[in-house]
Structure 1
Amino acid sequence: MKRINMISIVSVILTLVLSVPILNLFKNIFNKSKFEVLPSLVFEAIFNTLYMMFFVGIFTVILASSLAWIMNVYDFKFKRLFQVLLVMPFGIPAYIMGQSYADLLSFSGFFPTFIRNNYNIKFTIDVMTINGAIFIYTMALFPYIYLFCSSYYSRYAGTFVENSRLLGVTGFKLFRKVGFKIARVPIIAGLSLVMMEVISDYGVVSYFGIQAFTTILYKIWIGFNDFSSAIKLAAFIMTLIFILLVIEKQVSKRLRFYTSTKTNGMKSIKAKGKIAIFIYIYLSLVVILALILPLFELLYNNYYSFSDVINMEYIKIIGGTILYCSIGAFITVLVAFIFVNYTTNSKSIFSFFTERVSTLGYSIPGIIIAIAVMFSFHELDRFLRPLYVYFKFKNKLFLSQTAIILIFAYVVRFLTVAYNQIFSAKNKFNPNIFECSRLLGQSQFRTLLKIDLPLLMEANITAFFLIFLEILKELPITLLLKPIGLETLTIEVHKFYSNEMIKEASVPSLMIIIIGISLNFIILYHKNKIQEVK
């Protein structure tokens, strides 16, 4: 008698459940209900979003690829220190960086006040504009492309660079002619993540008062109380995102190339003279703008407000934040671990569908996932209402107003991150290891526990911390789907800034950054351990 494959059954059920919110969105594209939002608002949001995507894309590509090139081609003092410092902005949410700069450069900010009091010069910079948002996104998001390019250069660029040097191509010409062109695939991969982050962000554009996709969706849903129009607009944005993803896939395929020789890495050049001076100035400027200035502003405000904000209630908020991030990260990694096992051992059409569902969520803006999940849970609550009446539940929206909906949305949003991390780690092992277990009569479930789990433990831990960090920084989903009474550090930041309590907001902001930067070091440590397994 053939054994029932529990892994396949569980994977199929989870895939169907996780795909419902997205399918519900697309179903509403064909909804004949009237779209009652002013076209001018929508067109302004589309223009602003595309404008920011275009310039953020250009600036992050130039900044990140040049930094990765410098860090891999040249050797100089304090190189290891800069390697760490250039990754640390990854732990700072864009909305916290934007709010820090807005306060730092405002009329009452530290620098304008210092210059006015000491030199009698009126000095302010209005960063709360669309161009200011582009600067914030560039500083906050360049690590995505930097990490992709740096990893590629360290592994595969050695042969190309050495051959180019022998042909007399050096300096900036080497980067322009060789370095930039051979890194087009990792640049496109990182750029697609940057574009998704710009589309998804709500904190920066909301605080800066910029009409963008996320702010107009929030305004339609919460401000106008027009859930139907919000669903239709979300479905339209999803269609645009899928078109972008298809274009990204096609471009990546066209740009991909292979090297027939094995490279042992790139031999670094000792930086001297003008080149060394330029490198130190360039790297220091980036570190100051992306890391030191935001941290300085938060520390400066914390000095005045820390004792006023911190109390026993705040300890509970920190504990609640850690608890919800941990639960969301654990469930997401567990689902991803099951999906990886299923998709690598099954060649069915449904396993392909499972893989697509697993790698879809991160490309969808958080506010759209919040709308899709809320819509689906409302329908489920409506379906289960007779059951609620039978068991005498007072709350007729039981699922929609508990932590279940929040955790579910986190899983949908961040499953891609965990899946890619675990899938990449599993591909480094010889598949015969897993086949031998099944040839010895072990079931797929027992193989999962005895073989997959121990071998992929480092990847699971890394994925857990990655998801924890993403949930910690996530604003739209937490803001829109949190159950009544739940307060997290992210919600506290938004609450304080919404009430113009700038100094008080610096306390939870700094806590988020400290946790984020600490997790960055843990993630890098575990990734290095994973790379040792080949």
Structure 2
Amino acid sequence: MTREDAIWLIAGAIVTLFVLLPLATLAFIAAEPATAVWQHLLSTVLPEALATTALLMAGVGAITLFVGVGTAWLVTMCRFPGRRIFDWALLIPLAVPTYIIAFSYVELLDFTGPAQTALRTVFGFRTPREYWFPEIRSLGGAIFVMGFVLYPYVYLTTRATFLLQSASALDVSRTLGAGPLRLFFRVALPLARPAIAVGLSLAMMECLNDIGAVTFFGVKTLTFSVYDTWVNRSSLAGAAQLACTMLVIVFALLWAERHARRHQRFHVATTRHAGLPSYSLTGARAAGAWFACALPIVLGFLLPSWQLLQYVSRRLDDLTDPALLSATFNSLSLALSAAILTAAVGLVLTYANRVSRQPTVRLFGRIASIGYAVPGTVLAVGILIPMAALDNAIDSTMKSLFGVATGLLIVGSGAALVYAYVVRFLAVSYGQIESGLAKITPNLDMAARTLGRTSLRTLIEVHLPLIRPVLLSAILLAFVDCMKELPATILLRPFNFETLATSVYNAASREVFADGAIPALLIVLVGLVPVILLARTSAATYRDRTSRRASRN
């Protein structure tokens, strides 16, 4: 191993240790003797939380699977009015955090909301006992809302697979007499199972991570129980033990996703991908396809956005509120700092793998990417203890040497929150940058080294200019994820420190929903940028691939 290989190996090891530190701390805290607390949680909190979480994930999984796969097939294989718009518009709900959708639907469907008010006006009802209306603050309400927000994870991965399927395989199936339904269930769906498993596991992990929506709906999941045990019961050991239970579920999801596609190896023996056979829909079938694609967009984006705009139009004076400006500045500064740091760390990991090509470095990348699967509440529990201990060590050292008290330098400044963001979203930038570097031929590295460039100078002079668009995309995606993140932000933010996300959460907790409308709308507007970019990028990538393959044929 050369000296440069050793340097990159050490860099990858340091990053991996920082990612694993919260998980190791969590396991250490959970191992502390807290028998009385754990027995209480085991007999009262854990069974209900496990059952509720399982039901929530099952319900959300069913909705995301049905909506995501169904709409992906319609926009890929069918021709009907509006299909080109639906192709990218079906991704838009991904821009809106689940807690903002929950915030909006509580206002829309609650007793004082416009839906029930209109119902009472039309039929002359005076009290809620005189009519039946579904209760939005319930497990069913949480399943409904989260399902129509998270389905784009399944839609995106499944749509990509359907777009790249072999036209020859579909033509052969048609020749053998397979109709549209049989073609879907017997050919396309089995080939898309790995992609569906990936999208579904992502949706399930986001569902498990959520704390805002479940709090608004009064649903006591494991995430809520961790927060409640830590903050309201003042039991960090009990919260850590519950968090470890969540980690077991997360790793089970990851194992199930891998296991579901362990024997699936599908290879296309032809380059003919352009011109997929399609079904032209007319009349009632076209109307049905249009309605099936429009409904998720209406429920997952348009209705909640309309409710937010109604509140915002009546609270325009709040745009100059110092508290809102402060929360906006805090969100932007934290998210931008974390996004740049996340991209830098992701670049170190990916380039270390490219330079050294050691199996150990590749393993470091996979371990570092696991943070995305760890819920924010779990990270918060694992980060607070070592950061607080480091703060105390710095404070005591500064007092003894210089007589200066630094206090909570790391936790109090928001650095611990940036740390949580980097660990949580490192996988986003790592995947983006890895795909960008993979497109650069190794011949450029060899040529640069022949001209006397070190690996670091090769990175600066050759690779960075070539992957600049990918790097900017990684920063943008991480930035928006940090802007939306709520669980870790609630638990790790400094005292009297508000962000846009916590402003929305606090307003909903106080039942003053109008106060959180402007912060919520700002988060939505920021989230639209990467979603539109993602839709355009995926469409352009497919057009580029199919045009190249068509030209070769």
Normalized against structure 1, the TM-score is what?
A: 0.94
Which residue, out of 508, 513, 516, partners 1:505? 516
The 1-side partners of 2:232 and 2:324 are apart by: 29
CA drift at 1:88: 0.7
Report what 1:218 is aligned to: 227
Output one character per residue of 1:40-84: Cα deviation in whole Å (capped at 9) or x when no partner: 211111111111112211221111011000000012222222123
CA distance in structure 1 between the aligned counterparts of 2:296 and 2:245, rounded to whole angstroms: 37
Q: Quick one: distance in 1 between partners of 2:483 and 2:167?
A: 38
Q: Check if 1:295 corresponds to 2:305.
A: yes
Partner of 1:381: 391
Distance 1:245-1:497 versus aligned 2 partners, 3 A rule? same
Instruction: For residues 202-222 of structure 1, give each alpha carbon's deviation from its aligned partner in whole angstroms, at most 9, with x where no partner exists.
Output: 011111111111110001110
The question of 1:209 aligning with 2:218 is answered yes
Q: Which residue of 1 aligns with 2:197?
A: 188
Instruction: Supply the AA of the counterpart residue of 2:182.
Output: K
CA separation in 1, counterparts of 2:442 and 2:4?
A: 22
- The aligned amino acid for 1:42 is L
Amino acid paired to 1:18: V
CA distance in 2, matches of 1:66, 1:55: 17
Aligned AA (2:383): V
Shift of 1:500: 0.6
Whether the aligned pair in 2 keeps the contact of 1:425 and 1:530 (CA below 8 Å) is no
Provide the residue aligned with 1:18 in structure 2.
19
1:518 matched to 2:519? no
Segments of 5+ residues of structure 2 without an aligned counterpart are: 126-130, 549-553
Residue 306 and residue 262 in structure 1: after superposition, are their counterparts in 2 closer, same or farther (change >3 A)? same
Q: Distance in 2 between matches of 1:386 and 1:487?
A: 29
Relative to 1, partners in 2 of residues 1:312 and 1:430: Cα closer, same or farther, differing over 3 Å? Answer: same
Give the CA deviation at 1:381.
2.7
Mapped to 2, the partners of 1:297 and 1:340 lie a distance apart of 43
Instruction: Give the whole-Å Cα distance in 2 for the aligned partners of 1:72 and 1:2.
Output: 50
Name structure 1 gaps, 5 residues minimum.
none
What is the deviation of 1:376?
A: 1.8
- Residue 282 of structure 1 pairs with residue 292 of structure 2: yes
Give yes or no for the alignment of 1:306 onto 2:355: no
- The alignment status of 1:43 with 2:52, answered yes or no, reads no
* Of 247, 254, 274, the match for 2:256: 247
After alignment, is 234-243 or 402-411 more displaced? Answer: 234-243
Aligned partners of 1:394 and 1:159: how far apart in 2? 72
1:85 equivalent in structure 2: 89
Distance 1:529 1:337, change over 3 A: farther
Matches within 5 A, 1:27-426: 27-34=28-35, 36=37, 37-39=40-42, 40-121=44-125, 122=131, 124-265=133-274, 266-308=276-318, 310-389=320-399, 390-426=401-437
- 3-state SS of paired residue (1:255): coil
Partner of 2:551: none
Q: Quote how far apart the aligned CAs of 1:310 are.
A: 4.3
Q: Structure 1: how far apart are the matches of 2:258 and 2:146?
A: 24
Correspondences of 1:438-517 after superposition (within 5 Å): 438-517=449-528
Q: What's the secondary structure of 2:315's corresponding residue?
A: helix
How far residue 393 of structure 1 moved from its aligned partner, in angstroms, is 3.8
CA distance in 1: counterparts of 2:210 and 2:530, whole angstroms: 21
- Cα deviation for residue 116 of structure 1 reads 2.0
Q: In 2, distance between residues paired with 1:415 and 1:409?
A: 10
Cα distance, 1:231 vs structure 2:
1.6
Contact 2:34 2:237 in 1 (8 A): yes
Q: 1:381 to 1:323 in 2, by over 3 A?
A: closer
Q: Give the aligned CA root-mean-square deviation in angstroms.
A: 2.3
Which moves more between the two structures, 245-254 or 27-36?
A: 27-36
> How far did residue 528 of structure 1 move?
5.8
Counterpart AA for 1:355:
G
